[in-house]
Every structure is written in structure tokens, then in C-alpha cells.
Amino acid sequence: MKILVAVKRAIDYNVKARPKADGSGVELANVKMAMNPFDEIAVEEAIRLQEAGKAGEIVAVSIGPAASQETLRTAMAMGADRGVLVQTDDEVQPLAVAKLLKAIVEREQPGMVILGKQAIDDDSNQTGQMLAGLLGWAQGTFACNVAPEGDSLAVKREVDGGLQSIKLKMPAVVTADLRLNEPRYVKLPNIMKAKKKPLDTLTPAELGVDITPRLKLLKVAEPPARAGGVKVADVQELVAKLRNEAKVI
């Protein structure tokens, strides 16, 4: 079974994003970028399935500018076998990402697609579900355990009240939650090896996908800042403040 993994180049999770001064977008110039953390988990899961003899080739796919090649190289250094970049400098919203991924799925015919549950920049939490809807496949979102069993897939999901187990017909789409696994660190020799792995570049036009945005960003702004608070000396003062000043207990 071939596995397709979607990896997105996103802001590094340690960076605190800020709106541009004119409110037209988010300041991304000279900001450190990295693979979206959930996508590292997705890649790791694919590799573990391969190591367990449950998956064949792993193809990493990214959609974005030329710099997204770095993200694909990282995926390949972790263990993905090859990369596909759908290159565009245009803004690509989740529905368009899902359509592009669907076009790649039709070419590659994987048995499973693994994505992150959400990208930490736009925080949409949509792409995997949209892809599953477009393909008419089953979806195992927010997965914390994935186990192929013959022609079905057992998925344990993180839900509001705890955990849910479902069984999916294959092929299926899976989105990775934080506790699916702990991604491996990339070793230097593997970074060198990844440079030699195949990386194909396509365009949305070659895939016949219209990526025109459906959502228009009118403006961005910083949320209202919290007024700075005070330090209290001890628990007595804390209780007094909560009772008499804040009146919340």
C-alpha cells in the first residue's frame, strides 16, 4: 500500500505571529519557517507503517512556493521515498489544497493519505476532511492510533469527551493529532541522502485545478491585549483579591 503524506511549510511554532502594520496580512518576511508540526507526526506515522511492513512507498506532497522544497526534503530525510511539489506563489486555501491533493491521489493511487489535523498558521483544520469528501473516502480525523487490518483501518480518535474508536473502509484519509506518535529527529546522513531522492514539480494548471480563493481577507488585526496584572504576595492576598476585587469566587 502506497501512502501519500501532505506536508505544509508553515511558521515555526516558536514564533509569535504579528499582523503587518497596514493590516493587510500577517508579517512573514524573515520569519523562521518549518514543517507544520502535525505534518511531522503524519510523516512519522507513514514511516512507522512502512517499517512495520504495512506500507510500501511513501510520497510526500507539498503545495506552495519553491521554498516548500525544503519541507519535502525534511520529509524525505525523515524517511519518505519521494516528493511532489505543486508549485505556486498564489494563496492556496484549504478547498484548493484538497482539490490539488485529490488530483495527486488520482495519479498516485495511494491506499491511504495522512495529513496533519491542522496547520498552525491558518488553524483551519479542514483540508483532510475536504479531501475525504471530494474523494468519497472514509476519514479518520484527530487520530491518536492507526492500525491497518486487512482491507479496513482501525482508527482511535481524540474527541471532546475522550477517545473514540472507528473502523474505516480503505482507501482512507487520516489526520494526525498530537499523540499519534513522537516524530524522530532527522540525522545528518539522512539529510544528505534525501538530497538524492526524487522530487517532481507540478503546477496547479498541469493538474487542471482552479485554485481561485473563495475567501477574501479584508484585514488582520491584533486581538485586544490583556491589561497587565499584579503579583500577589501570598494566598491570603490572592483570595482577598478574587473575593473583593474581581468578585469571581
Partner 1 sequence: MTALVIAEHNNQILNAATLNAAAAAARLSGGFDVLVAGHNCGAVATQAAAIAGVGKVLVADAAQYAHALAENLAPLVVSIAGGYSHLLTASTANGKNAMPRIAAMLDVAQLSDIIGVVSDDTFVRPIYAGNVLATVQSTDRIKAITVRTTGFDAIAATGGTGTIENIAVQADAGLSTFVSEELTKSSRPELAAADIIVSGGRGVGSAENFAIIEKLADLLGAAVGASRAAVDAGYVPNDYQVGQTGKCVAPTLYVAVGISGAIQHLAGMKDSKVIVAINKDEEAPIFQVADYGLVGDLFKEVPALCEALAK
Ligand X SMILES: Cc1cc2nc3c(=O)[nH]c(=O)nc-3n(C[C@H](O)[C@H](O)[C@H](O)COP(=O)(O)OP(=O)(O)OC[C@H]3O[C@@H](n4cnc5c(N)ncnc54)[C@H](O)[C@@H]3O)c2cc1C
By the rule CB under 8 A, 151 interacts with partner 1:
no
Give CB contacts under 8 A, 24+ apart, made by 144-153.
144/177, 144/178, 144/179, 144/180, 145/180, 146/45, 146/49, 146/174, 146/180, 148/1, 148/49, 148/54, 148/55, 148/112, 153/112
Assigned C-alpha cell, 169: 473502509
Q: Which is nearer to partner 1, 178 or 191 (CB)?
A: 178
CB 124 within 8 A of CB 17: no
Q: Which is nearer to ligand X, 84 or 168 (CB)?
A: 84
**Which residues, numbered 39-78, are part of the site for partner 1 (CB under 8 A)?**
none
By the rule CB under 6 A, 13 interacts with ligand X:
yes
What is the rounded end-to-end Cα distance, in angstroms, of the chain? 57
8 is in the binding site of which of ligand X, partner 1, none (Cβ under 5 to 8 A by kind)?
Answer: ligand X
- # residues near ligand X by CB under 6 A: 34
Q: Which is nearer to partner 1, 14 or 109 (CB)?
A: 14
Sequence-distant (≥ 6) Cβ neighbours of residue 24 within 8 angstroms? 217, 219, 220
50, 74, 127, 181: residue in contact with ligand X (rule CB under 6 A): 127
Q: Which is nearer to partner 1, 188 or 246 (CB)?
A: 246
97, 155, 168, 202: residue in contact with ligand X (rule CB under 6 A): 97
2, 54, 57, 166: residue in contact with partner 1 (rule CB under 8 A): 166
69, 133, 145, 191: residue in contact with partner 1 (rule CB under 8 A): 133
11, 112, 114, 180: residue in contact with partner 1 (rule CB under 8 A): 11
Q: Which is nearer to ligand X, 115 or 138 (CB)?
A: 115
Task: Please give the helix or strand (H or E) that residue 198 lies within, else none.
Answer: none
Distance CA 76, CA 83 (A): 7
Closest CA to 208 of 93, 69, 89, 107: 107
69, 125, 190, 201: residue in contact with partner 1 (rule CB under 8 A): 125
